[in-house]
Structure 1
């Protein structure tokens, strides 16, 4: 069996992560996009299609439908995901509240695909994302806050936990204190996220997404912040305090890091699996 590959794309103030399962299946979490040098637009979805040869996504997860998490959605039909997970209980009025005219086409496309993907996944079916065998041993678990007001979309964000070869990665959306407090009451959640290896900071590392009890529980080796340099904030020091540290490769040189950020480090690549010689788990992070 192969390794687990995770890429945290540099998409400015937004989020987009690509996951290739150990058996070569393709997953994306969120649909942010960014800019390359010269203000050229960078679409992670088109990059997967044109440079990785991905013709179809096996799974797409949208944590919540704020524009910085669905900015690339007009390209989603080019990769036509087999399965879509999103918080589909949010009333349309809350999705449209405060949306600017320029943003409307992307929100309407989200509403369209939200209605399109309406078939329930049956246990035992070929495309069941909850079945680790389908993903070559990769375990994917989601936690959905449901008690918070839908007027704040951040608190509807889905939290995804990836587990493979005893390596654990926790990827939330823009969860704030109310949804974190709700999830902390769920013993399945607390058990699943505890002592992770990598944590993507909620709400791009902002104060509103920081929760000290959550950080103590997750206790990551590395915390990653997906954000633009123009939104850099001092909360990175708080994340560093509750991160255990890991040796990261930069230009083939090992550097001890506690936090990484897309605005300083660019695309962040994670590989995890079993060492063929020793059988032990490994985690390699490259920037």
Structure 2
């Protein structure tokens, strides 16, 4: 992955989420810590181990844990190999509720999340935070969270991010469902931040419980990406497809206009955007592992 543009890898981690981003100035960002591989029917594949062993990465400059459900922190015990420079996570979560909601095998991962929450001095997100774009090669982050809804549904406490570079934008909503998206849609700063994005990662793995038609219409994505383990009767895939504008996607040696990509069918998804060095024109390329 060369510098000068934004490179994104959305891992295939079954019903989970894990994203790696390399910034134009060669900083390393990780969004969520899902684990596994749908195409290989594996529960053990670790994106963090791949970053360490094959990308030779030792520093994570920006770690975002949208919320500490297992499918978003399943790989958390491999973080010890890295220096993590900043941690961003939901604020003021009830730790007793987190631990009581996890089975015995997963409590170690929840305790690791709590340990990280205690260790890092950078405050958890409150309302909106915007990074210093100079720190990340011109990329601008805006992060949102609702705290009004009951914590019994942790999905609605997820951090939601928009990432913008050179006028191109990706929206990563975590597992926010309809109720929290509805609250966020009442905020002018949120509406401005997500409006007319190029890529939307569908909230809550593209499930019907998170489908908010007005939100998707406002985002108006060129293409929607769904990270999920299988297509089930609670998937809202056709709705997302119908509200996406379409973009030409490369798979193997072919190029085809697509409206929706899913990790369960397309495998890992690779995104590259920025300005071409030759003529400084904006570009956005999307490539899939399969299909």
Superposition TM-score tier, normalisation by shorter sequence: over 0.9
Counterpart CA distance in 2 for 1:40 and 1:87 is: 26
Residue 20 (structure 2) aligned to one of 15, 18, 21 = 18
Q: Is 1:45–1:79's contact at 8 Å kept on the other side of the alignment?
A: no
Q: Over residues 46-100 of structure 1, what are the superposed CA-to-partner deviations in whole Å (9 max), with x where a residue is unaligned?
A: 1001111101100100000100000000011211310000003111122123211
Q: Secondary structure at the match of 1:109?
A: helix
Q: How far off is 1:38 after superposition?
A: 6.7
Q: Secondary structure at the match of 1:285?
A: strand
Q: How far off is 1:233 after superposition?
A: 4.8
Counterpart CA distance in 1 for 2:36 and 2:134 is: 34
Q: Is 2:7–2:271's contact at 8 Å kept on the other side of the alignment?
A: yes
Q: How far off is 1:183 after superposition?
A: 0.7
> Residue in 1 aligned with 2:148?
147
> Residue in 1 aligned with 2:35?
33
Counterpart CA distance in 2 for 1:149 and 1:80 is: 34
Q: How far off is 1:248 after superposition?
A: 0.2
> Residue in 1 aligned with 2:117?
114
Q: How far off is 1:147 after superposition?
A: 1.5
Structure 2's unaligned 5+ residue stretches are none
Counterpart CA distance in 2 for 1:109 and 1:282 is: 39
Q: Is 2:23–2:136's contact at 8 Å kept on the other side of the alignment?
A: yes
Aligned length, in residue pairs: 281
Q: Is 2:225–2:262's contact at 8 Å kept on the other side of the alignment?
A: yes
> Residue in 1 aligned with 2:185?
184
Q: How far off is 1:119 after superposition?
A: 4.1
Q: Note the 1:199-278 alignment, pairs <5 A.
A: 199-229=200-230, 231=232, 233-278=234-279
Counterpart CA distance in 2 for 1:75 and 1:280 is: 39
Residue 7 (structure 2) aligned to one of 5, 8, 29 = 5
> Residue in 2 aligned with 1:132?
133
Structure 1's unaligned 5+ residue stretches are 122-127
Q: Secondary structure at the match of 1:195?
A: coil
Q: Is 1:13–1:231's contact at 8 Å kept on the other side of the alignment?
A: no
Bigger mean CA offset, 181-190 vs 112-121 = 112-121
Q: Structure 2-normalised TM-score? A: 0.92
Counterpart CA distance in 2 for 1:271 and 1:102 is: 37
Q: CA RMSD in A?
A: 1.7
Q: How far off is 1:149 after superposition?
A: 1.4
Counterpart CA distance in 1 for 2:177 and 2:135 is: 32
Q: Structure 1-normalised TM-score? A: 0.94
Q: Secondary structure at the match of 1:37?
A: coil
